[in-house]
Amino acid sequence: MFDYVIVGAGVVGLSTAYHIRRLSPDSKVLVVDRAHAPGSGDSGRSAAAFRAFFTNNVNLLLSNSSIEFYKSVEASGYDLGLRFVGYLFLADKRLYSELRDGLREAERLGLEFKVYEPGVIEDSLNVRVRVEDLEESQLVGVSDIVEGIHALKAGVMDAGKLVEYYYKAGLSTGISYAFDTEVEDLIVEPRRPLGIEGEPFPWQDLRVSGVRVRGGREIRASRKVVLATGAWTWRITAKAGVESFTRPKKRQVFSIKALKEPLRRILYARGFNSYNVAPMIILPRKAYIRPTPEEGSFWTGVSDDLGRPFELEDWDPRPEPEFYVKGVLPVISLYFPPFQEHYPHAMWAGYYDYSFDGLPVVYEPYESDLVISCGTSGSGIMKADAIGRITASLTLGLEEAELYTGETIKVKLLGLKERVTGAEKLVI
């Protein structure tokens, strides 16, 4: 019997477990995962970029405070691979209008960003800024770059190292882990069983008292069960009549080697940061190019929304090479023609766990002793520490969570009834 059973050993589950033990050092905490090792879900498939740049003020608070926490972890001597290369939005008219709220929020928090004229980025990054005369640009529906907006508190990190950090910190504080343990069902039982055949009845006070795992074994939680199962959450909650308010959608990353000129010159672009590498580049249509200098490569991708179904294909979804050729390349090669000559040397796929408004969903349905923490909507690595603190506080029955930066936040802001207003516009 454990006090708290957390399902899911991705960044959200690991961070939640860690913060539960930090706030309640005597509690018995177990993390279970169907996979053989932590971080085997989407946390291990992420592009692992981070930015303190969102249009929603709560989202911004979550990422900003998590980034500060990650900096403190590095300052204590633990490498998370944080590189503050910045996020460079190469904005055409449409992307620029989507960025406006983000710029306002960044200014409000005093976060630094630089604005570049198109001519400046053209020279330093070797990017084609004028594309409107090209036939392809009309096809793709993009226009000239009107401005480069460089968010400075942003960059790339190593998600595997973040997983390892929370996992090892959890081990050292006495958290238990059970891998190769797939949860099939939530156990729903009356708080006060009567021992009458046919229980539970609708008038009984019910709770989620544990989980049933593959093979029929039951694991009980005396206090709460936490579902931090990312894209798979709805599959578990639906069977118990509970809504996660999130749905999974496939997302893919394609890695392009930049060993030779002229791609190499773009990868090691000078003047944007102290590492002299390109920033994380966001293009119109929200295609992205992520520098991965330790591999001498770029990771690229784009989010296809309308037409891409909400579905789970498999635990290990397959990347689609055609999607790169017909979906990603037409946008990135319009602005960076040298990409035309390269084919991905590696590719992988995972899922974004989309909420309806681009903010995480953290709530306890029906006072059931079940806490759901999901809906990271493509930015769970950069917000994992704050989400873990909020989920841990809700799990422990606290009304507020204290973030690493000292701000307190009402845990109900990520629930449903008293949820923060304003959908996030910068889900990339």
Binding site for ligand FAD (CB under 6 A): 7-13, 32-35, 40-43, 45-50, 182-183, 228-232, 236, 251, 253, 350-352, 374, 376, 378-382
CB of 394 to ligand FAD, least distance (A): 15
Contact 254, 331 (CB under 8 A): no
As measured in angstroms, the least distance from the Cβ of 45 to ligand FAD is: 5
Q: Give 19's contacts (C-beta < 8 A, 6+ positions apart).
A: 388, 389, 391, 392, 393
Q: Are 183 and 125 in contact (CB under 8 A)?
A: no
**C-alpha to C-alpha distance for 151 and 114, rounded to whole angstroms:** 7
Q: What is the DSSP letter of 310?
A: B
Shortest Å distance, C-beta 422 to ligand FAD: 20
Cα–Cα distance list, 148 to 293, 309, 416 (Å): 22, 32, 36
Closer to ligand FAD at the Cβ: 113 or 177? 177
In the complex with ligand FAD, the residue whose CB is nearer, 330 or 375, is 375
Shorter beta-carbon distance to ligand FAD: residue 188 or 382 = 382
Minimum CB–partner distance for residue 236 and ligand FAD (Å):
6
Nearer to ligand FAD, 253 or 266 (CB): 253
The nearer residue to ligand FAD, 182 or 295, going by C-beta atoms, is 182
> Do the strands 280-282 and 87-91 form a parallel or antiparallel pair, or are they unpaired?
parallel
CB atoms within 10 A of CB 295: 14
* Neighbouring C-beta atoms of residue 10, cutoff 10 Å: 29
* Distance from C-alpha of 380 to C-alpha of 420, rounded to nearest angstrom: 18
Pick 229 or 292: Cβ nearer ligand FAD: 229
Q: How far is the CB of 251 from ligand FAD (least distance, A)?
A: 4
Q: For residue 104, give the H/E element and its range.
A: helix 93-108
Cβ 277 to ligand FAD shortest distance, Å = 16
- Closest of 160, 379, 372 to residue 280, by C-alpha: 379
Element spanning 13, H or E: helix 11-23
For residue 160, the minimal CB distance to ligand FAD (Å) is 11
Please, are residues 369 and 208 in contact by the beta-carbon 8 Å criterion? yes
- For ligand FAD, which is the closer residue by CB, 34 or 150? 34
